[in-house]
């Protein structure tokens, strides 16, 4: 049974935080993780992107028309 998009946030007792985007088919995961990072204080000690983060986001028909 496939699951939808999820963002897993693990906050350690010492204040460290790990953010993991799951089931995102493209780079849209970066938008969500950047917003969460900014809300938590914005400091990134280590970042690792997954291969799917290199895939460009798909635009909807309305977004393509607005870009013209």
Our CA angle for 59, 65, 68, nearest 5°, is 110
* Residue 25 within any structural domain of the chain: yes
Residue 14 lies in a domain: yes
Which residues, other chains included, contact 46 with Cβ-Cβ below 8 Å and sequence gap of 6+? none
pLDDT of residue 1: 47
In a domain, 16, yes or no: yes
The predicted model gives 36-56 an average pLDDT of 81
pLDDT of residue 13: 94
CA gap 44, 5 in Å, rounded: 22
> Which are the contacts of 19, defined by CB distance < 8 A and separation ≥ 6?
7, 8, 9, 33, 36, 37
Q: Tell whether 28 is covered by a domain.
A: yes
Report the pLDDT value the prediction gives residue 67, as an integer from 0 to 100.
53
Of residues 55 and 6, which shows the higher confidence score? 6
Domain of 37 in residue numbering reads as 6-66
Q: Is residue 36 part of a domain?
A: yes
Establish if 1 belongs to a structural domain: no
Number of domains in the chain: 1
Does residue 15 sit within a domain? yes
Is the entire prediction scored with pTM above 0.75?
no
The reply to whether 30 falls in a domain is yes
Contact predicate 29/6, CB 8 Å: no
Please say if the pLDDT value at position 64 is more than 60.
Answer: no
């Amino acid at each position: 049974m496939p699951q939808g998009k999820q963002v897993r946030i693990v906050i350690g007792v010492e204040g460290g935080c790990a953010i993991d985007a799951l089931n995102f088919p493209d780079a849209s995961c970066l938008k969500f993780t950047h917003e969460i990072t900014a809300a938590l204080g914005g400091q990134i000690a280590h970042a690792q992107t997954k291969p799917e983060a290199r895939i460009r986001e798909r635009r909807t028909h309305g977004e393509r028309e607005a870009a013209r």
